[in-house]
A and B are shown apart, each in its own frame.
Chain A
Amino acid sequence: MSNIPENLRYSKDHEWISVDGDVAAIGITDYAQSSLGDVVYIDMPRVGDKFAAHEAFGSVESVKAVSEVFTPIGGEVTEVNEGLNDTPEKVNSDPYGDAWFIKIKMDNAGEADGMLSSAEYEEYLEATA
């Protein structure tokens, strides 16, 4: 059974965001890390890069596979969690805490409201996974 914290918002591509003012931290969900297996490398964008909602901003690699990671909301990258590549296994052990990938200054905070709540994401997993 997947861990789905209530205070976060979720996308159908299995990303979570945590909003603080107009900045959103983005990571991948417990379901995503479990599907991927042992994470070994994260391909990050650079501070200043701009992305539209649903655009791929990087990729996360496990031993066996590569998966693109998408930003659910449009904006500019303000911070990149570079240290994560020293301990990529954190994505598996602590996907919602230390293992955020990037922080984005949102162009439109309203986009965050349109994302799934914890209950909606859980329903989505049950229907599709």
Chain B
Amino acid sequence: MTGVTDTASRVRGGIGESAVRPDGVPKVVGSFAYASDLWAKGMLWGATLRSPYARARVARLETAPALALDGVWAVLTQDDVPGAPTFGQLERDQPVLCDGEVRYWGEPVAVVAADDLHAARRAVAAIEIEYEALEPQVDPEEAEERDDVFHRIRIRRGDADALGEVVVEGYYETASQDQAPLGTEAGIAIPDGEGGVDLWATTQWIHVDHEQIHPCLALDPDQVRCHPAGIGGAFGAREDISLHIHLCMLALRTGRPVKMVYDRAESFVGHVKRHGARMWYRHEADHRGELVKVQARVLLDGGAYAHTSKAVLANAAYFAAGPYRCDNVVVDAAAVHTNNPPCGAMRGFGAVQACFAYESQMDLLAAELGIDGMELRRRNALAAGDPMPTTGQIVEGSLPVREVIDALEEIPLPDDAVPDDARHLPGGIGLTTPPDRVRRGVGYAVGFKNLAFSEGFDDYADARIVLTPAGVEVHTAAIEVGQGLVTVCQQIARSVLGIEQVTVVADDTSEIGSAGSTSASRQTQMTGGAVYRVAGELRRKLLERFGGDDLSDEGVLRDGEVVVSLAEVCAEGPVEEHVRFRHPETHPTDENGQGDPHAGFAVAAHRAVVDVDPDLGLVRVVRVDTAQDVGRILNPAAARGQVEGGILQGVGLAVLESLVLDEGKILNASFTDYLLATSLDAPEVEMRFIEEPDHWGPFGAKGMGEPPTISSTPAVVAAIRDAIGRHLYRVPVLPEHIVGL
């Protein structure tokens, strides 16, 4: 099904090289334009009035005093929304602005446009508003009891009454995590003078933004154009609408360009988070350690609005048993509605929460059986051709679970000498930790996840290729968020065509069809797959038309001689091809959660080494080694960057990162209080890549952005347990958990 059999192999900057990214130099010299750097002549600044309550009725709202201020051009509320009053990616349940009741702390109530940011903030402060506070619903278990849920998934596979010889039970919690991309939400909307609007804003998917924006503006689809803008990181935070509709409304009302940039505190309330989870597990195995039954109850707190909770829940449920064979699986999963901050996508998307629970269970089971934890995992390892423990779907393509375990164990462990440099001790240069008190621990975990969209979603990516005398342009709407997609698309096009001069052009929604979201580890396979096919089609047609056997930057070649130059090929204009690529079909599951919902899988294993100060409860993560199933490496440096960056986010959830909530209010909405790892906290990472080609990714490549974040968290926690001998059931592990307060 690849469609390309004859590819060039001798081109610089092709696949397999650590090709240098084209945005590298602009980013190091400071000239790369992020959404927050955009300017337009006559531009106004926008700002947002947000709710100081997690739940309240608006008793009085008076905008006139704000509008009366000098330099204030618009003050808009829900009454000013021209079209559909609500938006949402999967369910249109969120009001564009407060509809009379606020349902989470920080919910947008009104937006203003003014001459500059200070005037905009003064206008926000001048809006007169009175709230009637209501009791916020913040307990997810109570929400489930009330049946106040966004979605439930029920999985019944095999015999629910099956019994094993060894049983372990556990309860686990994961905190809500913020993606904390360095760039906050930002954008600029510019009216086109004909009633329409152009928007440049932080995003992961311009077409799904567009679908939600134009109905709220009561504009035809072709009157709204969403453009890609420079993105300062995403990790899921940009998958849902934030300031997009507000900016367009302000630009259309004032007839002037309007810019908005969230500050960090506003960013914390301005984008969805990783769902906090509560999970109850029971594993049963026979005396050899083969899994007999896995039972799980998974509860995700979705917060105030639906966003992608339904899809996150699906991952938490379908991956609830881990990459292990098991014939009897019972899962009851629910994503509930509360007045906590809305949750949605973050790297790992539901698979992260489940992995912490099932890997903790596997360690408990190994201890109960008296066998090595990795040996237990090896005995149960799922492989291609096996049925998924949850859905029963036969795993197609590669799934080298045993291989990642073996490769990880081959990486040598460091010697266990306590470091003499204080910078390498828990507590660091605070010199709080006497070296002789340090306890070392080693922990392992394995995690897996689906690649691309699932459950029958029509998942596709468009790509257009244009041959000009100067080289090749690849057009796509796929969003580069920093991960290196542009470079990988260049590399794929070069290797398929044999032409080095390849430029990737980021089109807007009016110029090309959707590329789908930059999420779900999907763009290398989806947009990369589209580029692979469209480049192959162009090559095939050129060789056929001119009787050539190869291409180069010189032109069409036969037996190494130029038959016709690129300029001659393009004599009558550029030569274009377009494809819409779809991955293998997936299907919704039945009422028992059975079926074929997934297009592919990837697995990774992590081993963490930690040093713990048991008196103060401090942890230093010394190293996290990994083996990852990648199909095929297209760019080694970029792959390494994904693995190291993903691991540090997993380490963050393990020991640092937690959204602290009090009755729905975020208490740590700043980089002072929300702890992110620094270069001193970063563990050393050694990695092995297992290259078993995928059945549909370009050149056999699999997506690889999420697996580093999935099992790194439970590996670190397992290492801390190993160091201190205490059962730890929630992440992040905080000093008080280690000390046992």
Query: Do these two chains really belong together in a complex?
Result: no
